[in-house]
Chain A
Amino acid sequence: MASGLPDYYRGMDVAYQALAEMVVRPKYGGALAEASELVVTGSVLNTLFTVAGKGMIYGGYLWVDYTSSQKDSIVKLEIDGEVLLGESFNGMNIYGVKRPGSFVESLFTFDEINYRYAVGLCYGITFETSLKMHYHELHATTPIVSWRVIYALI
């Protein structure tokens, strides 16, 4: 025993050990990536991908590059069956939700001239049973939505 006491006085107790240093880190599996694109259906909630499992999001982003505005459309994350609050591209732009990590999503690009929009996903969101990402199209159009998401499964 590092303290000098014989082992039979007490069992292993990390707090009791005289260790010079101890490294603690969460143990996850290898990183996995989802990357694809979809011509979404207008005016409905389009499910882009789902993961059944337990894990953590490392990061990711979604972008739309279209020929007309998509400013009111919303990217939604659903964690363990709960749809987390999503905000439209326009709302995120107006209220300045742009700093990574300040919200579930952060706005990367809001271009109403070239109609380009992008949001990033917050690092460190954990899920116990499921992860889903949706795109709620709200302009009755059919843009191509692309995404890259990096995560780990435990």
Chain B
Amino acid sequence: MLIEVKGIIRQAEKEGTAVYVVVKEGQSGAYKRHRFGDVSEVTRGKIINFLSALYDVGPGDIVWPAHIEV
């Protein structure tokens, strides 16, 4: 299943800055929003590892569009 990264969101919240990753899931085309870890941990590699583990797919199945910068 291909997982396409659609956006990375950082939002100020009471507990500190929260990070979310929005992805488009495979053939269903559903958009899902996942809470990622601390803002200091946000790197492309860590997000790919996070999604790989979450969806049980290889890093090659994670599509990262060129316009998305962490």
Contact pattern, A 43-55, Cβ under 8 Å of B = 1, otherwise 0: 0001111111111
CB–CB A29/B24 < 8 A: yes
B22 nearest in chain A by CB position: A153
CB–CB A34/B31 < 8 A: no
Kindly list chain A residues whose C-beta atoms are within 8 Å of the C-beta of B9.
32, 34, 49-52
Q: In the docked arrangement, what's the CA distance between A34 and B8, Å?
A: 12
Flag whether B7 is at the interface (Cβ < 8 A). Answer: yes
CB–CB A51/B31 < 8 A: no
Flag whether B33 is at the interface (Cβ < 8 A). Answer: yes
CB–CB A38/B12 < 8 A: yes
Taking residues whose C-beta sits less than 8 angstroms from the other chain, chain B's interface range is: 10 to 19
Count residues on chain A whose CB falls below 8 Å from chain B CBs. 22
Interface residue SS majority, chain B: strand
Query: Known: A153-B6, A153-B22, A154-B6. Contact between A53 and B12, CB under 8 A?
Result: no
Kindly list chain B residues whose C-beta atoms are within 8 Å of the C-beta of A67.
none
Q: Within the complex, what minimum Cβ distance (angstroms) separates B67 from chain A? A: 5
Q: In the docked arrangement, what's the CA distance between A55 and B69, Å?
A: 14
Interface residue SS majority, chain A: strand
CB–CB B70/A52 < 8 A: yes
Q: In the docked arrangement, what's the CA distance between A87 and B42, Å?
A: 33
CB–CB B6/A53 < 8 A: yes
CB-CB contacts below 8 Å: B8-31 with A: 8-14, 22, 24, 30-31
Q: Within the complex, what minimum Cβ distance (angstroms) separates A35 from chain B? A: 9
Kindly list chain B residues whose C-beta atoms are within 8 Å of the C-beta of A36.
11-14
19 pairs, A vs B, C-beta closer than 8 Å: A29-B24, A30-B30, A30-B31, A32-B22, A34-B11, A36-B12, A38-B13, A46-B12, A48-B11, A50-B10, A51-B8, A51-B9, A52-B7, A52-B9, A53-B7, A53-B67, A54-B65, A153-B31, A154-B6
